[in-house]
Amino acid sequence: MQYTWEDNLDGFERRKRNKKERERETVNFLRSNWYGRESGRLETASHDEIRLFSDIADDFLSKNLKKSDKNRVNLAVEWEKIVGREIAMILGFAELKDGVLYLEIKHPAYLQEELAETTDLIIDQVNEVMKEKICSEIKFVPKGRRR
């Protein structure tokens, strides 16, 4: 005898259930079909919560990464948002160490042109996006030579 979706509904109206309940019922239905009705119940009892992998990874990283490592990851992810697309093509995030932000520069000519004038602005943007003062100085390094 095939276990059907209607058997799993157990008289509840679908529209009154919230998203989590529907997900749980779907998983229970799939486990029952995969393992059989009785084994599926046992398997379902051992897995009561559905979590996204991204949520699990965020929890793990927030518990196991040092604050300085979290800041580095966040800077690397938010880099284009901090400096904008055009400058992000010229400057890349290399390292954050002891309040010094090391940036990879594509070509030294850019440094003489306009980037030397924008260092204070970049420092302010970094500290604003990170919501704390983590950067007090910027040093430029040639592209490919990470510090």
Residue 80, in any domain of the structure: yes
Enclosing domain of residue 124: 65-142
CATH number of the domain encompassing residue 78: 3.30.300.180
Tokens 């520069």 belong to: 105
Q: Which residues neighbour 17 within 8 Å (Cβ) at sequence distance 6 or greater?
A: 25
Q: Which residues of 49-61 are buried (b: 16+ CB within 10 A; e: fewer)?
A: eeeeeeeeeeeee
Indicate if 127 and 87 belong to the same structural domain: yes
pTM > 0.75: yes or no: no
Task: State pLDDT tens for residues 68-95.
Answer: 788 888 888 888 888 888 888 888 888 8
Residue 34 · residue 17 · CB < 8 Å: no
Residue 55, in any domain of the structure: no
Indicate if 78 and 133 belong to the same structural domain: yes
Task: State pLDDT tens for residues 34-64.
Answer: 777 767 666 665 665 667 888 888 788 778 8
